[in-house]
Amino acid sequence: MAILKFRVYWEEDDAIYRDILVKHTQNFLDLHHIILKAFEFDQLHGATFFRSNDVWKKGREISKEVYDKAYVAPPLLMSETAIGTEIIDTNQHFIYVYDFAKAWTFLIELIQVIKNADADMELAYPVVSRIEGVGPMQYGSKGLLGKNFADIEEKYDLSEAKDGFGEEGEELDANEDDDNDETDDDSDENAEENGSGFLDDSFEAY
């Protein structure tokens, strides 16, 4: 048995990647699950792998299931295909596509083969061994608030609140101006009635 070390890049930024260790006897469904876990994606959508060459040209498909679409050749199934059986090159490449509506695409490269004698057999493979860069957000933008922001945004409908702040603020400013005008008018009237003002108070003080 051998341990295969893959580097999984986000297609749009190769500075964002995850290193994954997997047994060569494990199947592509195991690899599918660990990639989603590594990038903090859910498990709700369709997915498929493609064999690939060095210039990332798609070849035979290794799919989660047989989908209702045209295939060049019948796909292999993730759950039935051991990863080791598809390694035909020392730097074997695969392309992984998740959620066909969004077409999240990841480029996978074999970067190391670890012999059984050198592998840490206490690890529960597959495992993520390295994380580089902040991964893409599957839904919206979580920013610095973390993965719970989408739930907060939905609960409190922050998008509508944001639009409302400007209008409410403008209305408040207008009301404040009206209040200030009324206050100024009242002050002037009182001053006239009482015959007092800044100069009168000053003279009285002397």
CATH number where 122 lies:
3.10.290.30
Q: What is the pLDDT of residues 124-179, one digit of tens each?
A: 999 999 999 999 999 975 444 444 555 555 555 554 444 444 444 444 454 555 55
Q: What is the pLDDT of residues 63-88, one digit of tens each?
A: 999 999 889 899 999 999 999 999 99
- Yes or no: say if 79 and 68 are a contact pair by the CB < 8 Å rule: no
Choice among 25-29, 52-56, 175-179 with the minimum mean pLDDT: 175-179
Q: Is residue 142 in a domain?
A: no
Same domain, 99 and 169: no
Same domain, 129 and 176: no
Distance, in Å, from the CA atom of 86 to the CA atom of 105, rounded to the nearest integer, reads 19
Place of tokens 């959620």: 99
Same domain, 182 and 117: no
pLDDT at 171: 47
CA dist 176 → 143, 169, 183, 184 (Å)? 35, 10, 10, 12
Domain that holds residue 47: 2-137
Q: Is residue 152 in a domain?
A: no
Distance, in Å, from the CA atom of 174 to the CA atom of 171, rounded to the nearest integer, reads 5
Same domain, 107 and 13: yes
Place of tokens 């004698």: 117
Single pTM value for the model: 0.68
Q: Is residue 99 in a domain?
A: yes
Mean pLDDT, range 97-116, rounded to an integer: 96
Same domain, 32 and 118: yes
Domain count, the chain: 2
Distance, in Å, from the CA atom of 99 to the CA atom of 119, rounded to the nearest integer, reads 33
Same domain, 176 and 83: no
Same domain, 34 and 123: yes
